[in-house]
C-alpha cells in the first residue's frame, strides 16, 4: 500500500480496534512564567478569541505569546503608576506624614492603571 501524505511527512498511525488513528502531538515549547496579566489575557483568548487561542496553542507559541503580553502589560502598569505618582505629587514625604492618605491615593492610582492596561493590552 502506498504511503499517505501524512506518513511521508513523518506522521505515524496507531491502531484502535479496526481504525488507524493519527498520533498527533503538540510541538514542544519552552515554559516561561506567566503573571496575572498573562493569565487574564489567556482567559480572554479562551472566551472571546477562540481561533487565535487554538492557533497559538497548536503552533506551540501560546506560552511565549502570553509571557510577552504579561511583560508588556507589567511594564506599562509600572510606568503608569510612576507617572501618576509624579503628576499627583505622591511622595515618600506624604507617606511619612500621613500613611493612610498615601495608601489610599496609591491604591486609587493602581486601580486606574490596571483599568488602562486591561483596556489597552489585555482585552484588545
DSSP character string of 50-69: HHHHHHHHHHT-HHHHHHHH
| DSSP strands (E only) in the chain | 13-16, 19-22
Asked if residues 44 and 9 have their Cβ atoms less than 8 Å apart, the reply is no
Express each pLDDT in 49-89 by its tens digit: 999 999 999 888 999 999 999 999 999 999 999 999 999 99
Q: Number of C-alpha atoms within 13 angstroms, CB side, residue 84?
A: 17
Given a cut of 80, whether residue 6 has pLDDT beyond it is no
- Quickly tell me which residue has 511583560 as its cell: 71
pLDDT at 1: 66
Q: Is the pTM of the predicted complex or chain greater than 0.85?
A: no
Question: Mean pLDDT for the chain?
Answer: 91
Given a cut of 90, whether residue 42 has pLDDT beyond it is yes
Amino acid at each position: 500500500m502506498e504511503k499517505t501524505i501524512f506518513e511521508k511527512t513523518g506522521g505515524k498511525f496507531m491502531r484502535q480496534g479496526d481504525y488507524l488513528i493519527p498520533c498527533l502531538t503538540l510541538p514542544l515549547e519552552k515554559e516561561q512564567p506567566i503573571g496575572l496579566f498573562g493569565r487574564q489575557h489567556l482567559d480572554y483568548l479562551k472566551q472571546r478569541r477562540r481561533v487565535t487561542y487554538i492557533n497559538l496553542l497548536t503552533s506551540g507559541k501560546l506560552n511565549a505569546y502570553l509571557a510577552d503580553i504579561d511583560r508588556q502589560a507589567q511594564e506599562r502598569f509600572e510606568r503608569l503608576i510612576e507617572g501618576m505618582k509624579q503628576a499627583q505629587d505622591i511622595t515618600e514625604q506624604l507617606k511619612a506624614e500621613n500613611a493612610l492618605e498615601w495608601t489610599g491615593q496609591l491604591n486609587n492610582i493602581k486601580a486606574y492603571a490596571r483599568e488602562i492596561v486591561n483596556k489597552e493590552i489585555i482585552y484588545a
